[in-house]
Amino acid sequence: MKDKNNEAFGLQDLRYNPDQQQQVVLARQAELQEAGFNQEFIDQYRGNTLVGANISVRERLNNLAQLGFSNPVALIEKHPSILSYAPESIQAKLDSLTNQQFSNPVALIEKHPSILSYAPESIQAKLDSLTNQQFSNPVALIEKHPSILGYAPENITRRVKLFTKLVKLFDSPINQVELMEAVTGLFSTKIDKLIVLTRIVRNSLQTASDTDRKLIHDILFANLEDVLLGLETLGVEQNERLPNYTIQQLVARAKEVKKQELSKDTKKMLIKHAEFIDLKVKKRYFKGYPLKQRPGPSHE
C-alpha cells in the first residue's frame, strides 16, 4: 500500500522505476518547484532519480545549508550529482580541504562544485605538482583559479615547460611561474595553441628591450586564428613567404582581423589557403585544430 504522506514529499517518487507513471514525475516536479529550482533544471531532472530512496530533495537542501552552503539550490543546479552525496561524505571533503590549508572550503566548493568529486589524494597530488614547479603558494593559486584541480599533474608540468620556452624565445626577464600566478587564466590555455605560438614567436623580431608582461599576455590571449591571419596580411604586404614582424605588429593585426567577425570555419579555410604563413606553423595548427570533414557525395 502506498504511503500518501511520503508520496506528497517526493520520498517514494524519487526511487528509480523505469515504469514510473506520470503522477510520479509530476510529484517530483512539484517538489523541485517548491524548493526553488529553475524550470530548465526541473525539465531536465523531473524524470530522474536525484537522491536515494526515502530521502527527499528538501532534506538534502537542509543538509547542505547546515554544512554552511549559502545557496544549496544554486549549488545543485551547477552540479546536480551533489544531491547523491551523503552529508557525511561532504563533511569529510570539507575537513580534508581544511587540513590541506584551504582557507574557506565551503566558498571554494561554491565556486567550483566539481571539487566534491575529487579524491583528497588527487587534490594533494595537484598541490605537490605545483610545489615542485616552484609555485609559491599552490593553495592560494587554486583558490584563485579552482579549475586547476581539473588538470592532470603532467599537463601542468607541460604547460610550465611551454611557457618557459615561450618566455625564453621572447628573450624576456619575466619569470614564467610568476606570470602564471598573476594571470591564472594561462592554466587553461590549450597546449596546441602554446606550441603554435611558440613557433610564431621564434620567427619574430623580438628583443627583451621591447617585451613586457602585457605584450606576452596579449599574444597568449589573442584568438589564434586571428593571429595567423594577421601574419598572412603582413606577408601579403611585404610579399614575403616569411614576413618580418614584431609581436606588437602581430597583435595589432590580430585585432584588425577580429573586427571582421569571421566565423571560425571561415578563418580555418583562409588559413588553409594562406600563402605567407610558415608551412610548419600551419601544419602544427591543423594538427591541433583540424578542419571539419565535409560529407562526401551520396552514391545512392
**Residue 69 main-chain phi, psi, to 5 deg:** -75, 130
Q: What is the pLDDT of residue 25?
A: 67
Q: What is the pLDDT of residue 70?
A: 92
Q: What is the pLDDT of residue 295?
A: 55
Q: What is the pLDDT of residue 63?
A: 92
Rounded-to-integer distance, Cα 218 and Cα 216, Å: 5
Which residue is associated with the grid cell 615561450? 166
Whole-prediction pTM value? 0.66
Q: What is the pLDDT of residue 48?
A: 61
Q: What is the pLDDT of residue 165?
A: 82
Residue 246's contacts (CB-CB under 8 Å, 6 or more residues apart) are 204, 205, 206, 210
Q: What is the pLDDT of residue 18?
A: 52
CA count, 13 A, side-chain hemisphere, 278:
18
Residue 11's contacts (CB-CB under 8 Å, 6 or more residues apart) are 3, 53, 54, 55, 56
In Å, what is the CA distance from 141 to each residue of 51, 126, 131? 34, 11, 11
Q: Which of 55, 108, 42, 109 is nearest to 86 (CA)?
A: 55
Q: What is the pLDDT of residue 53?
A: 47
Q: What is the pLDDT of residue 220?
A: 87
Grid cell listed for 213: 608582461
Instruction: Report whether 171 contacts 163 (CB < 8 A).
Output: no
By three-state DSSP, how is residue 126 classified?
Answer: helix
Q: What is the pLDDT of residue 14?
A: 47
Grid cell listed for 20: 514510473
Q: What is the pLDDT of residue 156?
A: 85
Rounded-to-integer distance, Cα 91 and Cα 67, Å: 7
Grid cell listed for 156: 601542468
Q: Which of 77, 2, 89 is nearest to 52 (CA)?
A: 89
Grid cell listed for 146: 579552482
Instruction: Report whether 21 contacts 12 (CB < 8 A).
Output: no
Domain ranges within the chain, ordered by starting residue: 1-84, 190-290
**Residue 288 main-chain phi, psi, to 5 deg:** -90, -25
Q: Which of 204, 192, 206 is nearest to 287 (CA)?
A: 192
| 235 exposure class (CB count in 10 Å sphere: 0-12, 13-18, 19+) | buried
Q: What is the pLDDT of residue 50?
A: 58
Q: Rounded to an integer, what is the distance from CA 256 to the centroid of its chain?
A: 27
Q: What is the pLDDT of residue 67?
A: 94
Low-confidence ranges of the chain (pLDDT < 70): 1-25, 46-55, 171-172, 206-212, 294-300
Q: What is the pLDDT of residue 230?
A: 96
